[in-house]
Amino acid sequence: MKRLNKIWVPRSKGERTIAIIAIWIGWSVLTDSTENDVMVLLLLGLAIFLTYYSATQGSVELQAKDLAKKEKDAKIRKIVEAANAKAKAATIAKARLKYYGGGEIAGEQTVLVTVTKDRLDYGSYHIDMNAIISASIETQSQILSRVTLTRLAAFGFWALAIPKKKKSVEKFLSIDYNAGFQSTLIFGGDNIAKIHAGLIKAKKAR
């Protein structure tokens, strides 16, 4: 039987299954074309032998391949778990906030904001922690009273929405940064204090 290994050895369980199916389809076709009982028995014996051969050849190799695949999958799973654990440990604060302007996102939208020790992520963009100058929780009037006209242009309609007859008391998170140009990120929402605290913690840890 070992000599037959040089003829054919299944490379996968699927290939082995296909071979066995092909054997019995061939046996069925051949027996239908003959009425000789002796020939039918001979063909049956040959089909049984080939089925046994197909079912047993390459078992060690296939088991080794399955084991190698399981070990590889286990290693990949450990790497992913370690990466996720590292990312989770590196995350200082995370929350969904309303983005109003001052960054690379065009238009107002709700984004996921994440603070790590190295950077601030918002949507698909980020700012290095070294580039962040300060972070404050302020009203809209307080923010607009201290930023330049050039930087005001980045806030669009938000900058024009100051109430004329009553004082705005809604709080926003303003993040001043310099990434080759000076600007101010503006966020709103119920979780701005969480991100603000995370930024303070990240800056102190550096």
Residue 113 has pLDDT above 50, yes or no: yes
Q: Which range among 10-14, 90-94, 131-135, 178-182 shows the weakest confidence by mean pLDDT?
A: 10-14
pLDDT at 164: 47
Q: Distance between CA 52 and CA 55 in Å, rounded? A: 5
pLDDT at 187: 94
DSSP 176: E
Closest C-alpha among 101, 141, 142 to residue 125: 101
Per cent of the chain over pLDDT 90 is 31
What are the tokens at 79? 């790497």
Residue 39 has pLDDT above 60, yes or no: yes
pTM of the model: 0.54
Determine the residue type at 40.
V
Per cent of the chain over pLDDT 70 is 78
| Better-scored residue on pLDDT, 89 or 3 | 89
